[in-house]
Amino acid sequence: MDEAAALAADQVARPSDFIREFVEEDLRTGKSCGRVATRFPPEPNGYLHIGHAKAICIDFGIANQYDGTCNLRYDDTNPVVEDVEYVDAIEADIRWLGFQWASLHYASDYFESIYEFACLLIRKGLAYVDDLDEEQIREYRGNFYVKGRESPFRDRTVDENLELFKAMREGAFADGAKVLRAKIDLNSQNMNLRDPLLYRIKHAHHHRTGNDWCIYPMYDFAHPLSDSLERITYSICTVEFEAHRPLYDWFIEKCDAFPSRQIEFARLNLTYTVMSKRKLLQLVQQNRVTGWDDPRMPTLAGMRRRGYTPEAIRAFCERIGVAKNDSVVDVALLEHAVREDLNRRSPRMMAVLKPLRLVIENWPEGETWDIQAPNFPEDPSHGTRTLPFSKVLYIERDDFKEEAVKGWFRLSPGAEVRLRYACLVRCTGVVKDPATGEVVELRATMDMDSKGGNSPDGRTVRGTLHWVSVMHAVDAQVRLYDRLFNVENPNASNPGCPQSFLDFLNPDSLEELPCCKVEPALASVAPGERVQFERIGYFCADSKDHSPSRPVFNRTVGLKDSWARAERKGKDSLKAKGVGDPALNSGPALFAAAVVNAGESSVPVAAPGQSGASVQALADFKPLAAQITIDDFAKIDLRVGLVKEAGLVEGAKKLIRLCVDVGEGHLRTVFAGIRAAYPDPAVLVGRRVIVVANLKPREMKFGLSEGMCLAAGEPETGLFVATFDGEARPGDKVS
């Protein structure tokens, strides 16, 4: 226990990623005076998305963890693409995520200082005004294989440069006529070092500085100096900026500025999602979505409207970790994070999305029963609300099947289910539209002694359905959101067939259900409030369109649905194996599976692939509907069993009883209908047999049978249990 505690402490003490490792190393060695200062530097030209959330959690998270500060700084050095519209949205998103900046800045606030730094570089002979135009600069710069050439203006004197740069600032030149460049290394393999641009001329209106400036610094120049001016210790950014780091360091060194340090991590990619601002903007502009806050967008505004919580997003960011590998995170992890959070905070309510009438025949007309239903069934301390029950209810259309299939324990003719919090009902009739054959109503009788939902006699009722009283139901619109793209990587572009990410848009990403029926309590939830619709998923009242008179709910994420998964899997495996298509069925396997499906036969069956009497029986064997699959058959657990006792069964003509050791520490009783072959079952004692070990124990007339023995034989000789001798121990797996 002490050891475990020490181990746990040890794990907590270790930094959780390589950035925190740098931070702790610096803290240990006293670098930067034990101070931690970070910044989050968005460009105000788009909405924040889940990828930014990762960066925000790192920037603010590290500052918080080490008692440091994190500033919000808008990187607004390019007036032509930036807009105030985004500034407010960005601040709202960061606050919503749960973070507060130490101070708010704009790179544009530093324009004067940055200008002074540029003059300093000129005076040091490290920057020059170049008259080459855009294309010429590109040409002179060379490429990965060709060295760069010096501009003819590279050797202007300091005075000339100073004068020209001043003239640039004063508006003496047209856009593009001149630029200020750093004098570094035209032969560097790092293209960023081939005399990068420091300033360009743009006679443009800036959202903050107005028309004060007509020259604007480039990101590479402005960013390190802005960091430095704010005395940022860790300038954390994504890996695309890695090649810019030598430049970042060069500017700081040559300007004698505070030594901020740039550290890069891998940006977030998510399956079924696009993350680039350009693509998100395209979705908005082409009306593929309703806006930046469309609940299908990976923007924070969209996720908020969808019902995501900041806690869930932060937990997600913590779990994906921080590294430099180029990676794609499974969106299932995000969904897990939001389910985990919503599960513990959402009250449970009932809503019927696709209503089907259910009439309780033995319930008095017009009478209402007010049920007090718990808001959090697992924690009654959170109170109840009134849930009215009456003669006619709505249940979910998907909860009824006219023909029950294997494993179906919802409603079907004759079947009994529980109505959540109410009672047990048995389906007694189906009313169909005579014209279309569509089921329009179900009839049922209720067990009057089952009020509350418990069976009076202890009988098990596996299915529990949600429902809403017709006369009390409230109409609501429900919007079912699904992933926006139907391929894992919508960014993929094959050279052969150039496809746009737009080609991968999921046409079913939004299903609108206009006529849902919800319980009365749901009419009074506030916009933005989150609830669980029992058995369906997590929903939130739409922040824009919801009102008590016209409730609108957005699905945040569905509940895990193991029935849907099993159904899907069954279909897939049927398709894959050709089961269900009689022409493709292979006899023995289906036969054996059919017997297993029956689940009640104590008659030994032939092992698949073996020929003999059992296989011949196939001729008159009618394949079952698609209820069982090859996969079901593959689940059979075959074990070696050692026969300890064997005897006849009194009163049965065909049965013998075996007591078999399957290595479980106790003996299993197995009945086998092969008395004809073993008039004296005692010969089986001490023999090893093959037992199907994972069948549900079956209550028979003569006792409980806890398995089956494999048997085979010829028509003339009858069936014999498959026995063998040798080394195998009881309980060994047979494959």
Partner RNA sequence: UCUCCGGUCGUCCAAUGGCAGGACACAGGAUUUUGGUUCCUGUUAUCGGGGUUCGAAUCCCUGCCGGAGAACCA
Tokens of 441: 């109503």
Catalytic residue among 24, 43, 318, 488: 43
Residue with tokens 């508006």: 171
For residue 374, the minimal CB distance to RNA (Å) is 9
Indicate the residue among 80 and 515 with the shorter CB distance to RNA.
80
Decide if residue 513 touches RNA (CB under 7 A): no
Q: Are strands 234-238 and 215-217 parallel, antiparallel or unpaired?
A: unpaired
- Closest to RNA by CB, 339 or 517: 339
Residue 265 β-bridge partners: 238
Return the number of the residue (256 or 340) whose C-beta is nearest RNA. Answer: 340
Please state the closest distance from residue 408 (CB atom) to RNA, in A: 5
**265 and 323 in contact (C-beta within 8 Å)?**
yes
Minimum distance from CB of 676 to RNA (Å)? 33
Question: Distance (Å, rounded) from C-alpha 689 to C-alpha 705?
Answer: 16
Q: CB under 7 A: which stretch of 14-22, 295-303, 614-622, 701-709 binds RNA?
A: 14-22
| Identity of the residue, 177 or 598, whose beta carbon is nearer to RNA in the bound complex | 177
Q: Is 707 left (phi over 0), alpha (psi -120 to 50) or beta?
A: left
Give the amino acid at 455: S
Query: At closest approach, how far in Å is the CB of 192 from RNA?
Result: 6
Q: Which stretch binds RNA (CB under 7 A): 96-104, 112-120, 292-300, 564-572?
A: 564-572
Q: Which of 152, 414, 452, 514 binds RNA (CB under 7 A)?
A: 452
Instruction: Find the binding residues for RNA in span 144-163 (CB under 7 A).
Output: 144-145
| Number of residues in contact with RNA under rule CB under 7 A | 90
Q: If binding is defined by CB under 7 A, does position 187 make contact with RNA?
A: no
Give the list of residues 6+ apart from residue 585 with CB closer than 8 angstroms, or none: 578, 579, 623
**532 counts as binding RNA under rule CB under 7 A:** yes
Question: What residue spans of 230-309 are helical by DSSP H?
Answer: 245-254, 277-285, 300-306
Show contacts with RNA in window 418-447 (CB under 7 A). Answer: 418, 420-421
Of 470, 443, 430, 455, the closest CA to residue 362 belongs to 443
Helix, strand, or coil here: 452? coil
Would you count residue 169 as binding RNA (CB under 7 A)?
A: no
Q: Please list every residue from 664 through 723 that binds RNA, using CB under 7 A.
A: 694
Residue closer to RNA, measured from CB, 570 or 681: 570
Q: Which of 240, 475, 508, 600 binds RNA (CB under 7 A)?
A: 240
Residue 176 binding RNA, by CB under 7 A: yes
Residue 382 or 654 having the CB closest to RNA: 382
663 binds RNA (CB under 7 A): no
Q: What's the closest the beta carbon of residue 623 comes to RNA, in angstroms? A: 22
Q: Which is nearer to RNA, 592 or 642 (CB)?
A: 592
Q: Residue 635: which residues within 8 A CB-CB, separation 6 or more?
A: 694
Nearer to RNA, 101 or 316 (CB): 316
Q: For residues 14 and 459, which CB has a smaller minimum distance to RNA in the complex? A: 14
Q: Does 330 bind RNA (CB under 7 A)?
A: yes
What angle do helix axes 84-97 and 50-65 make, rounded to 10 degrees? 60
Q: How many Cβ atoms sit within 10 Å of the Cβ of residue 573? A: 15
**Segment lying near RNA (by CB under 7 A), choices 432-440, 475-483, 553-561, 640-648:** 553-561
**Contact window for RNA (CB under 7 A) among 13-21, 358-366, 608-616, 622-630:** 13-21
Catalytic residue among 31, 166, 267, 406: 267
Q: How is residue 231 annotated by DSSP? A: T
Under the binding rule (CB under 7 A), the answer on residue 733 touching RNA is: no
Per-residue x/- track, 463-492, RNA (CB under 7 A): xx----------------------------
Among 326, 438, 457, 725, the residue binding RNA under the rule CB under 7 A is 326
Tokens 């017709």 belong to which residue? 470
Strand intervals (E) in 402-462: 416-419, 423-432, 439-446
Between 244 and 391, whose beta carbon lies closer to RNA?
244
Place of tokens 């194996």: 577
Residues 569-628 that bind RNA (CB under 7 A): 569
* 18 contributes a contact to RNA by CB under 7 A: yes
Cα separation, 405 vs 626, whole angstroms = 8
CB 662, CB 688: distance < 8 Å: no
Q: Whole-number minimum distance, CB 268 to RNA, in Å?
A: 9
Active site residue 277: yes
CB of 133 to RNA, least distance (A): 4
Query: Smallest distance, Å, CB 533 to RNA?
Result: 8
Which of 676, 677, 680 minimizes the C-alpha distance to 646? 680
Q: Which is nearer to RNA, 321 or 608 (CB)?
A: 321
Whether 604 contacts 708, CB under 8 Å: yes
Question: Looking only at residues 82 through 141 of this chain, which bind RNA when binding is defined by CB under 7 A?
Answer: 132-134, 137-138, 141
What whole-number distance in Å separates Cα of residue 67 and Cα of residue 70?
A: 10
- Residue for token pair 């396997």: 589
Residues 296-325 that bind RNA (CB under 7 A): 319-325
Closest CB to RNA among residues 85, 561: 561
The DSSP secondary structure of 630-691, one letter per residue, reads HHHHHT--EEEEEEEEEEE-TT-SS-EEEEEE-SSSSEEEEEES-TTT-SSGGGGTT-EEEE
- Cα–Cα–Cα angle for 619, 625, 630, nearest 5°? 80
Q: Which two tokens stand for residue 95?
A: 């606050």
For residue 107, CA distances in Å to 101, 348, 376, 529 come to 16, 48, 49, 38
Applying CB under 7 A, among 36, 50, 201, 312 the residue interacting with RNA is 201
Q: Which of residues 30-89 bind RNA (CB under 7 A)?
A: 41, 43, 75, 77-78, 81
Site string for RNA, 332-371 (x = CB under 7 A): xx-xx--xx--x----x-----------------------
Element (H, E) at 58: helix 50-65
The residue whose two tokens read 């005395």 is 231
Q: Which of 277, 279, 288, 345 is catalytic?
A: 277
Among 125, 152, 364, 377, binds RNA (CB under 7 A): 377
The binder of RNA chosen from 96, 153, 258, 408 (CB under 7 A) = 408
Q: Is 729 in the site for RNA (CB under 7 A)?
A: no
Give, as ranges, the residues between 241 and 280 that touch RNA (CB under 7 A). Answer: 241-244, 266
Give DSSP secondary structure letters for 483-549: -SBSSS-TT---SSS---GGGGB-TTSEEEEEEEEE-GGGGGPPTT-EEEETTTEEEEE-TTT-BTT
Catalytic annotation, residues: 43, 267, 277
